[in-house]
Homo-oligomer: A and B are copies of this chain.
Amino acid sequence: MEPAHSPLLTDLYQLTMVDSYLQQGMDAPASFELFSRKLPPGRGFYIASGIEAVVDWLTEMRFGDAELDWIRTCGHFRAGLAEELAQLRFTGHVEAVPDGTILFPQEPILRVTAPLPEAQLIESRVMNLVHLHSLLTSKAARAVLAAGGGSLVDFGMRRAHGAEAAMAAARSTWIAGYAGTATCLAGARYDIPTVGTMAHSYVLAFDREIDAFRAFATAHPRNVVLLIDTYDTADGARKTVQLAREGHPVHGVRIDSGDLGAEARRVRRILDEGGLEQVRILVSGDLDEYAIARLRADAAPIDGFGLGTRMDTAADQPHLDMAYKLQEYRGVARRKRSVGKMHWPGRKQVRRRFVDGVAAGDTLCLAEEELPGAPLLTEVMDGGQRTRSPEGTAAIRERVREGLAALPEACRALEAEPDLYPVEVSTRLRACAEATDRQRH
């Protein structure tokens, strides 16, 4: 029962509802769509991601013996449910945008069409995966935009919320445009360049700081990036110059504390006076897109940023307002009318129009409507099987890059005005919503 793979990683009510649907014979096709209801304040767009992870999970989803034992003994379900779940596989049809697609509120990220119990059962984990990846990719893209070409690396594994979040953070930051990650396993799995320097403990393990620098340069002569703030940053910079004079290679220094802009200026001066104009200065420590923007506005001589905690926890906004809602059952469009939580009913598509390479507006419409613009959702699964090959992170990264470049500039701002990007709702979709609301319940 490994959490990342177990169908019991779900909310109890999904199983309660499945139990009831099966009992009632309610297994007609249902369409659910996953979408974001609104953007966090100041955000002009978000990036949908995690669909690849969902497809992998759906393909593998099955109840094993340990899971079925729990179903039998937990006391919540009728006898016989475990036997039905033992046979259950995901057999549905899935349309989705590809990972790395820029989206706006109310636009579907993915649509599942499957027998109602299947489509219901998967809700919690589908949301969990897409929410996590989209959250972190969207946050990372902001840092990439703020850095304006400066090099960013992901140092956040230790404070990401667990193993899956750490892996998602490395993948998300890479597809958003970071230069690499410190997380080795993400490097191995997702083909991301791995990067790293040294920790304060390395310096502390030697009696003298210069001995630590010498040992590091000897052990890893191809990538000598020295952490220089363990005792005194200016002193660390002077020892860097000394190390280079001794003939050791030095590629960069990292500053992890203090006023990073002021320290970078001081260190740059010491390095330049020591003839180390080519040695790069990296900074780290509680950085995010806002800190990067401030350091750049201040013209601090910084070549690269190590980002961790605040990015990998999406600290200023660690959740997106996302929902997975029944849109159609037995061929009839549905929507709830709960205050502040309305959505557009029916099976939908998004069509995006471009003018001179810039995204000019989207139309949210019914899936079957033929309207101008490229459709964003395409089939990824049919009959419970993949119909599109898994996509590598390099292609997804390129999609993000192109998507950001095609976004109107005002949408890319760190503090964007609300609802800048035009998303219109088609006439037929509006009519469908009105007809749905006229039904009696």
Contacts and interface: CB of A to CB of B under 8 A. Distances in A.
Interface of A: 1-4, 6, 8-17, 19-21, 23-24, 26, 30, 32, 66-67, 70, 74, 76, 78, 116, 120, 123-125, 127-129, 131-132, 135, 155, 157-168, 182-185, 187-189, 194-205, 207-209, 215-216, 219-220, 223, 229-232, 256-258, 309-310, 313-315, 318-319, 322, 325-326, 329, 332, 334-341, 439-441
A158 B127 contact: yes
A257 B338 contact: yes
B165 A12 contact: no
Contacts of A20: 202, 215-216, 219-220
Given A4-B163, A196-B16, A199-B17, A188 B319 contact: no
Given A2-B4, A319-B310, A334-B204, A184 B9 contact: yes
A200 B1 contact: no
A319 B313 contact: yes
7 contacts: A3-B164, A9-B185, A32-B201, A76-B223, A124-B158, A201-B325, A232-B337
Nearest to A3: B163
Given A3-B166, A12-B196, A200-B325, A161 B132 contact: yes
Copies in the complex: 2
B157 A131 contact: no
B185 A6 contact: yes
B257 A12 contact: no
Given A128-B160, A204-B335, 11 more contacts: A9-B163, A20-B219, A74-B188, A161-B165, A162-B162, A162-B164, A162-B168, A204-B334, A230-B338, A257-B338, A310-B319
B309 A185 contact: no
Contacts of A257: 338-341
A12 B184 contact: yes
Nearest to A230: B336
A231 B157 CA distance: 43
A337 B231 contact: yes
Those 4 A-B pairs whose CB atoms lie nearest each other, nearest first: A162-B164, A12-B196, A161-B161, A13-B196
A441 B188 CA distance: 37
In this complex, which of A70, A120, A166, A195 has the most chain B Cβ atoms within 10 angstroms of its Cβ? Answer: A166
